[in-house]
Amino acid sequence: AQTVTQSQPEMSVQEAETVTLSCTYDTSESDYYLFWYKQPPSRQMILVIRQEAYKQQNATENRFSVNFQKAAKSFSLKISDSQLGDAAMYFCAYRSTNTGNQFYFGTGTSLTVIP
């Protein structure tokens, strides 16, 4: 089975600064999808950004961008101009295109934004 690793249980960033959350994954597949989800204190999971493995261009969504390194199996999330509302748990997720559309999640990174 695929594994997703988030090696930073906790991170903090000053408001308006930039922070990068790390994610690595292990797979033998060549085609798959990667996601970052945000879980604020309400515990509602919110999609932040997605990346198709076949695309070389890194995905961006406003202040959120990824650094996708397929050969290194790395998928980091960069949050620019951090805001207080960015404080949340962030989960990296992998979707297989082979094993019945299963999703695999990392253990999460808790992000604190310091005013």
Partner 1 sequence: DGGITQSPKYLFRKEGQNVTLSCEQNLNHDAMYWYRQDPGQGLRLIYYSQIVNDFQKGDIAEGYSVSREKKESFPLTVTSAQKNPTAFYLCASSPGTSPTSYEQYFGPGTRLTVT
Contact residues toward partner 1 (CB under 8 A) are 1, 9, 33, 35, 37, 42-45, 47, 50, 91, 93, 95, 100-103, 105-108
Tokens 């959120």, residue located? 64
Indicate the residue among 5 and 18 with the shorter CB distance to partner 1.
Answer: 5
Contact indicator for 81, 62 with CB cutoff of 8 Å: no
Q: How far is the CB of 85 from partner 1 (least distance, A)?
A: 18
Beta carbon nearer to partner 1, 1 or 84: 1
- The first and second tokens of residue 87, run together, are 């404080």
Residue 3, token pair as written in the block: 């594994």
What would the two tokens of residue 28 be? 């033998």
